[in-house]
Amino acid sequence: METVTAWTWGPLSLWTVMAFLQHRPERFVLQLMVSLGQLYGDVLYFYTAYREGFSHSWVGHPLYFWFYFVFLNSLWIVIPGLLLLDACTHLSRAQRLADRAASCPAGKDKAT
């Protein structure tokens, strides 16, 4: 997973930042892709640790297990989750506007 993160999600993240800075139209699609990839990676990280019986951690340790492993890694689920929701909201709004524009005759707007 680290190879995928380094070679795919790294450059894709840079492209996403540039797209937002330049207000490019693909910015929310890129945000959706990067957030989904990050979410997948963290779920995979938690699941493999669970399947291995948390053999590489001190289960129940207040600092290492609960703060580092659970809390800090949970941020990598919460933040991409919020960004996924944000991207879906923007993409849905854009599609709604595109559908409305496609169904209106040229030069006419339903709102007027």
- 30-76 pLDDT per residue, tens: 999 999 999 998 999 899 999 998 887 788 788 888 898 889 989 99
Q: How far apart are CA 108 and CA 112, in angstroms?
A: 8
More confident residue, 102 or 61: 102
Q: Is the CB of residue 34 less than 8 Å from the CB of residue 13?
A: yes
For 7, 16, 33, 43, 75, the CA distances from 78, given in Å and listed in that order, are 23, 19, 15, 11, 5
Residue (of 72, 83, 70) closest to 37 by Cα position: 83
pTM: 0.80
For tokens 């580092």, the residue is: 68
